[in-house]
Structure formats: C-alpha cells, structure tokens
C-alpha cells in the first residue's frame, strides 16, 4: 500500500502564523488608509475656513457674496440668487447646485483669486469640490442653515458652517476627534444622517458603516 504524507503540526503552525501576519498587515493598511482619509477631510474643513478669511482679507468682501467680484477677479460671476449680495453672508445652501447662488459661487471666487485650485467653469463636472470619498463639500452662513436642526442651548454657534457629505460613520467620528470634542452631537462639529436633515446624532447612533454628513460651525 502506498503511504501518503500530510502536513506536520509544525508546518501547519507556520502556515497559520503567515496567514495571521498577512491579515494583520491588511488590517493595519486599512487602518492607515482610513486615518489618512479622516485627516484629509478634517483639512477640508480647516482649509475652507482659511479660504474665506483669506479672500475677505484681500478684498474686504466674502467669496460668493462679493458685490464687486467683477473688479476683484477676472471672469468672476456675480451671484443673483440665494440671497442679498454684499450683506456679509454666504447665502444659499452648502450643497446648492444653483449656479447663481452665493454658496455655489464661493468656490469660483476663491479659485479665481488664486487661493484655491480647481475648475472655475460654472456647471463643469469638476467644479463641485469633493472630499476624499467623493462626497460633496460646501459652505454657507449659519443663518438659514437647515441640514442640522439642533435648537436651544444645543444649537450650533458661529457665523458660517462647512459641511461634507458621504462620510462613512467611522470617519465621521474620527473627524470629530480631530477637530472638536469627539462627541458627534455637541460642540462645533456635528453629524447627521446623509441626506436626511434633522437633529445631530450621538456617537452611539453613528454606525461605522453607514453614511453621514459632517458639519463644522465657526
């Protein structure tokens, strides 16, 4: 009878160790990718704030709300909807697709001023700013903001709000840790279900795999 041979216990142990190392490397790699995305998204919030103040310092007007934009930047488009131009507010919703809204034109004005990169062509597919996962990024005045409806002592404070949509739950919570108090329904950074305006959600109601919108007031 022909004798068959199999793996020894030592060989099996070595194989299991190798598999464990490979799995550990994959998990660590994914952790690093998620960390990099969270930091990139957190920088989106901070950079948008910087863009607003840099434009204001340069032209004594707010991007999007600039009544003299044609004199300040070449080919700058004057907002004709979404609010009153020149009233020191960025009116229109942060995720507006109306090309004549102040909040939509914010990005053209800061780009034409040389403060940010990106398309300056109104309506161009590449015009809308996106986060690291492809979600929409935008800014508006907190007056008229309705994506997060917290009220009373728990309401968001500040003059402006930056929002980023299509953010997976694990990253939303990490962004809050990077920018605020780590609590997703308090402080200057709040989280709400993606595409569903309402009160901000506590950490326990922000599952890692679900999609959310993150907003920061300043």
Q: What is the mean pLDDT of each run of 10 residues along the chain (218 residues)?
A: 64 74 66 85 98 98 98 98 95 98 98 98 96 98 98 96 98 98 98 97 98 98
Burial profile 110-130: b = 16 or more Cβ within 10 angstroms, e = fewer: bbbbebbeeebeeeeeebbbe
**Which of 55, 36, 58 has its CA nearest to residue 107?**
55
| Residue with the two structure tokens 């996106």 | 130
pLDDT of residue 29: 65
Q: How far apart are CA 88 and CA 61, in angstroms?
A: 7
Could you give the 3-state DSSP secondary structure of residue 6? coil
DSSP letter for 66, please: -
Name the pTM for this structure: 0.86
Q: How far apart are CA 84 and CA 106, in angstroms?
A: 14
DSSP letter for 50, please: H
**Which of 133, 135, 136, 134 has its CA nearest to residue 106?**
136
User: Cβ(194)–Cβ(215) under 8 Å?
Assistant: no
| Residue with the two structure tokens 């004199």 | 71
Category of 52 on φ-ψ map: left (φ > 0), alpha (ψ -120 to 50) or beta: alpha
pLDDT of residue 30: 65
């Amino acid at each position: 009878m022909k004798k068959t041979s199999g793996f020894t216990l030592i060989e099996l142990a070595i194989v299991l160790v190798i598999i464990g190392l490979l799995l550990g490397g994959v998990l660590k790699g994914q952790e690093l990718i998620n960390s990099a995305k969270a930091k990139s998204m957190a920088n989106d919030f901070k950079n948008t704030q910087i863009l607003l103040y840099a434009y204001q310092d340069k032209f004594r007007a707010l991007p999007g709300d600039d009544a003299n934009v044609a004199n300040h930047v070449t080919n700058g488009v004057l907002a004709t909807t979404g609010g009153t131009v020149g009233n020191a507010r960025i009116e229109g919703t942060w995720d507006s697709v109306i090309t004549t809204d102040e909040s939509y034109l914010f990005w053209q004005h800061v780009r034409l001023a040389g403060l940010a990169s990106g398309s300056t062509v109104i309506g161009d597919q590449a015009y809308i700013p996106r986060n690291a996962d492809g979600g929409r990024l935008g800014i508006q005045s907190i007056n008229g903001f309705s994506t997060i409806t917290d009220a009373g002592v728990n309401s968001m404070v500040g003059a402006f709000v930056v929002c980023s949509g299509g953010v997976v739950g694990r990253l939303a919570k990490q962004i809050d840790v990077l920018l605020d108090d780590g609590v997703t329904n308090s402080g200057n950074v709040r989280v709400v279900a993606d595409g569903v305006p309402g009160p901000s959600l506590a950490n326990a109601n922000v599952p890692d795999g679900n999609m959310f919108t993150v907003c920061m007031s300043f």
